Amino acid sequence: MTEDLPMGSPPSLPQTPPSHTSTVPRSGSPIPTDLRNRVPAIFGGHPPSFMEKRRSSIVMGQRSVDLLMEQPGEPMPRFVIFIIRCYRRWGYFIADHSLKAILICVLISLVCLYFVLTTKQENDITGYSPYGARARTEFSRYQEFFSHDGPGITVYIFALAKDGGNMLRERYLNETVEILNLANENVTLQQNGHNKSFAQFCRSFCKINEPVRGFYNGFRLQLESIAMGNKPNSRINLNYPKSQILGHTFTLQIKMVVLQFRAEHENGWTSEIVKTYEMAMVKRFEKEYKSERLKLYVLSTTYVEEEMVRAGISMVPYLSVGFLFMVACSVFFVLNRAIYMHQNSPPKIFLAIAICFLPFMSCATALGLMFICGLRFASILCVIPFLVLSIGVDSSYLMNHEWQSVIKHCREQPNRKNLNVGYRVSQVLSEVGPAILISMLTNVFADGIGAITSSPEITLLCVGNLISMIIAFIYQMTCYAGLMSLVGRYEIALEKRERREIQESIRKAISNGSSQIGINNNNCELGYGKHQSLNRQQSKFHEHTKHYISKTITFYIKVISKRVVALFVIFIYFVYVGFSIWGITRMNINLTTQKLFAEDSPLLQLDKLRVKYQVPHFMMATVFICAPKNLSNPERLEKMNNFVREMEQLNGTWGRSWGTVGETDPDELEAMELEKGINENSDSPQLSETTLDDERSLEIPTGPFKEEDLAVFLRWPEYTQWSGFLKLDNKTGQLERFFFTTGYHGDKLEVWTERGKLLKEWRAVVDKYSPDFDASVFHEDAVFLDLIDNMPSDTWQSVLGTLVCMAFVCFAFLSSMFTVIFASSCVLSICCGILGILSWWSIDLDPIMMAAMIISIGFSVDIPAHVSYHYYQASIRELNATPEMKLVNCLSSVAFPALQAALSTIFCVCSLLFVKLYMAEVFVKTMVLCVVLCNLHGLLFLPAFLIVFDPVVYSCRQRISKSHSKVKSNNRIHNVIPEESGSQESSLKENTLINEKKRKLFNQNGLNKTINNDKQSTITDRPNLERFHSIELEGGGGDKLKQEENEEKMNNNAKDNLNINSKSNQKIDDTSH
């Protein structure tokens, strides 16, 4: 890019360092003086450092610090100076050990990749429930009751008619009972070489499906009675939805029949044995069972986890698609710019491809370290490679962008120092290192906030992304910088060879006469052009592209700088804000298990059927009593009965049809005693008088409840199923805990929020009696229903925490409240836009969306921070510059890298669109929105605000400058960023005050001779570093010299203002560099 000359830098004649004198061949032919002056590098000389053109900076780097330090009254960015010093030293170190760094990084990533490939995925169904959610405690009570000794078995089989008709048809019910028999007898559990069927290892819930069998038997009995011309049996009531057979009352659905198989843990069972059995049920009835009438679905915890794992794995193949997109973008951008800057060489392809390999290496290393530390491999972690690939490449683009700029600078002004690869790498890292560090820290802080304010699954995602970003930063500073060093050595060797060739051609030209040397008045062409071996002649592509880019940016700045246009853009911005806020107010809070499965998963259809047919008619609350104590006490028993009654009197309850606790209805017992005897396992059920006589011989407990009667109660065959509802002390036989269930119905229960309201009513009743009985209520959807109350607070807390961290990082590096305010405002606006537009885009507020938004915030701060910072610096550096001129400084530095990163990010993340998964859809929409809004804010909205409020900014700037001038003393001590000494870099001598005065005298008098050249210190190609040296001003001389410098700067500013338009065009024309 076109760079401004440093303010106050006096002109000087070319000097000839001793190191270059002997390299130029001498000839007896006379050489024109103007030729020697125009081609100093070839003839052994090079212009002094303070004459070099200054390259513009991307963000707070070496050159930005240089410019900031030139301004009187500006605070010293000591922290950034320290960071730059560290980067500079690291650049020399990594150049010396580049190959070792690359090998170490590759080896570590391969070792960690092994652990990634050998670690099994493990998901937690409750992992999306927020920390502190009540449902987590309730689920732990549920597990404690059923799996306190180890994992138990729970499998559901859902049977529906394929024609969508009624299940109350004889053939359909008959096949349903056959399926029940197959599940009881044919599917076996393998343990220690023995196979056991469900009927063999079941203890407490063996008869939980008997109402289905009893209904079918009663249904057949009634049909046979009607077929024989008799009246239906009055003892068999088959009404819907509640049926009664021999005193047993139960609810039966018409569209769907649900069979439940539950078994408590037995000694010797492991998690693998239980999972194998549950998946065997899935394989037998969902994949192998063929039926012309019924469609079967199987549901179990193991199956849900397996489908979540399959959903995560389904994203992995599309990593190759994202990688190919990124490689194509990277090669295109890198080579296109290399060709444009005449730096095309084969090793550039390796740099372009390495940009895309580093994210994979960092992901493998980060995930491997997590698994080595014992963290769980959740399916949601499979999205991390896409995120790191789309976000992490931006920093590598910056490094490559700056690398080409450094090469261009070194080729224009070659000397012994910049022919050293360590010097070039140090220049790259000292310039873009702080910017990369800012991006890394913002992403790390955003992920850190998400890790502590969300749910366990999202914590794993944020921690994985956080570690991946840190590892990516380390690999960029080691592996990529090392690769850059290797490529740099190749390019430097190529430069030396080309320089020898051009010197040989010059020697021949000189020997043949100076007439063969064509001298261009503007560019100093030697036959083939300026420095033929180092800067090739500009091609038509270069000229046309440069003209097109310049014309485009000029037109854009002219349009956006018009006050009417800027006001219109601001109006559009407020419309956008209002539209986003409206979307936030209508956003739904919803997360179901179906959002965690692939689009082709059978569980998606099952969940829809469950919500459609089961939930509106039967939503069950399971109440656990963990401290019943002595229920023989009439007062405690009465309180327990009141507890049950209140649960059964809530809106939508099925009432007492689910039974009571602590008492037995005598009428029901009598009916069961008289009508007992239907042989439920036979094809033709009939009454058995012998069975009735045997049952009458049992003594029925009467009177008040007594704990010792529980054993007698549970020995009755018709009550054995209740043993699964109770836990007795093995020693004393006392009741330790139990649970009871109540059923609810209502068409509104299909709506997620209505189920949440009903859950709150359950908990209100439970909380009333919990102090006495230590009660809790469980519902399978509670872990997701709790999101309704937790998600809004978690979201705004996460956004606020992330915003504070972003502001802190910006202030620490940029030391500008102006930048912090504008960048933070843009981040808040982007968050608002993401939430609002996603709401209109049919995305609900859930942990997945919140995690995607928080991760996006991490890189949304970059472009607004860069634009506001450059505008602020332009206001300092060019006090009288117009807003158009300041925008040139902003957009010429930020626009191209921003658009390049935006396109590559969008291309990469869009590869997730091939995955038919809700999680992938959320991340694609969120990331694309964030990238688009980030660029709109940085390149459209923010410039419009700066144009309109530029007078206010200028006024504030003037006041700040005055306050600084009052506080600052006349004697200022400048810190130094010294060049590192060593084998790869010569030391930088201090400039004295005498040399400063001599240059001032030289500038004022216009002398055409050099003053004390021998005593003048060696200057590097960083002209402004001389201002970093400690200069102690004594007496009034320092004040006088400062006054002279300020006067000279004012004169230079006045001259610059006369040529402001030409200067603006010059900046725009060279934007592509």
How high is the pLDDT of residue 317? 83
Residue 993 reports pLDDT greater than 50: no
β-pairing, 256-263 with 153-161? antiparallel
Using pLDDT thresholds of 50, 70 and 90, give the confidence band for residue 397. Answer: confident
Residue 839 reports pLDDT greater than 80: yes
Residue 886 reports pLDDT greater than 90: no
- Residue pair 258/157 in contact (Cβ under 8 Å)? The answer is yes
Range of weakest confidence among 563-567, 615-619, 680-684, 767-771: 680-684
Length of the chain: 1073
- Residue pair 687/678 in contact (Cβ under 8 Å)? The answer is yes
Higher-pLDDT residue of 443, 60:
443
Helices (H), ranges, 728-816 = 752-773, 782-785, 787-814
> Angle formed by the axes of helices 319-340 and 347-372, to 10°?
140
pLDDT in tens, 536-595: 555 565 666 667 777 777 888 888 888 899 899 999 999 999 999 999 988 888 777 778
Nearest partner of 96 among 341, 420, 378, judged by Cα: 420
Helices (H), ranges, 384-517 = 384-391, 393-412, 421-453, 456-475, 481-512
Using pLDDT thresholds of 50, 70 and 90, give the confidence band for residue 597. Answer: confident
- In angstroms, the Cα distances linking 736 to 304, 778, 789 are 32, 19, 33
Query: What is the residue whose two structure tokens read 């005693």?
Result: 673
Helices (H), ranges, 910-949 = 918-936, 942-948
How high is the pLDDT of residue 1? 38
Range of weakest confidence among 287-291, 734-738, 1067-1071: 1067-1071
List strand residue ranges (DSSP E) for 287-358, in order: 294-300
pLDDT in tens, 492-531: 888 888 878 888 888 887 887 654 444 444 444 443 344 4
For the chain, the straight-line distance linking the first and the last C-alpha, in angstroms and rounded, comes to 5
pLDDT in tens, 709-726: 777 777 777 777 777 888
Between CA 356 and CA 307 the distance in angstroms is 30
Residue 179 reports pLDDT greater than 50: yes
Query: What is the residue whose two structure tokens read 């999101």?
Result: 787
> Angle formed by the axes of helices 563-585 and 540-560, to 10°?
80
- Residue pair 75/817 in contact (Cβ under 8 Å)? The answer is no
The tokens describing 1023, both together, are: 């002209």
Nearest partner of 1069 among 547, 351, 415, 700, judged by Cα: 547
- Residue pair 945/823 in contact (Cβ under 8 Å)? The answer is no
Q: What percent of the chain has pLDDT over 70?
A: 70
**Residue 653 pairs with which residues in a beta bridge?**
744
Nearest partner of 127 among 448, 460, 374, 607, judged by Cα: 460
State which H helix or E strand residue 624 sits in: strand 619-625
Higher-pLDDT residue of 57, 47:
57
Range of weakest confidence among 115-129, 383-397, 690-704: 690-704
Q: Note the pTM of the prediction, 2 decimals.
A: 0.73
Between CA 1018 and CA 249 the distance in angstroms is 101
Residue 764 reports pLDDT greater than 90: yes
Using pLDDT thresholds of 50, 70 and 90, give the confidence band for residue 623. Answer: very high
Tell me the three state secondary structure of residue 196.
Answer: strand
Between CA 392 and CA 477 the distance in angstroms is 13
Return the HEC string of 637-653: HHHHHHHHHHHHCCCCE
Using pLDDT thresholds of 50, 70 and 90, give the confidence band for residue 534. Answer: low
Residue type for 186, please?
Answer: N
Query: What is the residue whose two structure tokens read 């150049």?
Result: 95
Spell 857-869 as b/e; 16+ CB within 10 A means b: bbbbbbbbbbbbb
- In angstroms, the Cα distances linking 932 to 59, 454, 803, 928 are 21, 26, 19, 6
Using pLDDT thresholds of 50, 70 and 90, give the confidence band for residue 239. Answer: low
- Phi/psi at 155 (nearest 5 deg)? -135, 135
Across the beta sheet with 294-300, the strand order is 256-263, 153-161, 294-300
Nearest partner of 84 among 472, 429, 476, judged by Cα: 429
The tokens describing 388, both together, are: 């790191």
How high is the pLDDT of residue 690? 43
Residue 96 reports pLDDT greater than 80: yes
Between CA 36 and CA 16 the distance in angstroms is 11
How high is the pLDDT of residue 979? 44
> Could you tell me which residues come within 8 angstroms of residue 455 by beta carbon, excluding any fewer than 6 positions away?
127, 128, 129, 130, 131, 847
Query: What is the residue whose two structure tokens read 């990594």?
Result: 94
Higher-pLDDT residue of 4, 751:
751
Tell me, what DSSP letter sits at residue 595?
G
Between CA 978 and CA 88 the distance in angstroms is 10
Nearest partner of 816 among 82, 85, 75, judged by Cα: 75
Between CA 809 and CA 435 the distance in angstroms is 11
- Residue pair 457/850 in contact (Cβ under 8 Å)? The answer is no
State which H helix or E strand residue 728 sits in: strand 726-728
Considering the chain, what is the average pLDDT of its residues? Answer: 74
Using pLDDT thresholds of 50, 70 and 90, give the confidence band for residue 680. Answer: very low
- Residue pair 158/296 in contact (Cβ under 8 Å)? The answer is yes
- Residue pair 569/941 in contact (Cβ under 8 Å)? The answer is yes
- In angstroms, the Cα distances linking 618 to 58, 593, 625, 742 are 63, 19, 22, 9
Tell me, what DSSP letter sits at residue 527?
S
In order, the DSSP letters of 385-409 are HHHHHHHTHHHHHHHHHHHHHHHHH
- Residue pair 290/361 in contact (Cβ under 8 Å)? The answer is no
Range of weakest confidence among 401-410, 476-485, 537-546: 537-546
Q: What percent of the chain has pLDDT over 90?
A: 15
Residue 651 reports pLDDT greater than 70: yes
Range of weakest confidence among 85-89, 256-260, 514-518, 983-987: 983-987
Between CA 425 and CA 474 the distance in angstroms is 15
Residue type for 901, please?
Answer: A
How high is the pLDDT of residue 858? 74
How high is the pLDDT of residue 581? 93
How high is the pLDDT of residue 483? 93
Q: Exposed, middle or buried by CB within 10 Å (0-12, 13-18, 19+), for 505?
A: middle
Range of weakest confidence among 443-447, 536-540, 905-909: 536-540
Between CA 780 and CA 420 the distance in angstroms is 67
* 171-179 contacts, C-beta under 8 A, 24 or more apart: 171/293, 172/293, 172/294, 173/215, 173/216, 173/219, 173/257, 174/216, 175/291, 175/293, 175/294, 176/212, 176/216, 176/257, 176/259, 176/294, 177/212, 177/213, 177/216, 179/259, 179/285, 179/289, 179/294, 179/296
In order, the DSSP letters of 738-757 are EEEEEEE--GGGGSHHHHHH
Between CA 36 and CA 41 the distance in angstroms is 9
Range of weakest confidence among 415-424, 661-670, 906-915: 661-670
Mean pLDDT of 307-316: 85
Nearest partner of 259 among 233, 238, 289, 239, judged by Cα: 289
Between CA 804 and CA 811 the distance in angstroms is 11
How high is the pLDDT of residue 960? 58
CA 1055 centroid distance within chain: 50
Using pLDDT thresholds of 50, 70 and 90, give the confidence band for residue 282. Answer: very high
Mean pLDDT of 286-309: 89
Mean pLDDT of 718-746: 82
Q: How many CB atoms lie within 10 A of CB 742?
A: 25
pLDDT in tens, 998-1053: 444 444 444 343 333 333 333 333 333 333 333 333 334 444 434 444 544 554 55
Higher-pLDDT residue of 586, 952:
586
Nearest partner of 775 among 663, 650, 628, judged by Cα: 628
Using pLDDT thresholds of 50, 70 and 90, give the confidence band for residue 664. Answer: very low
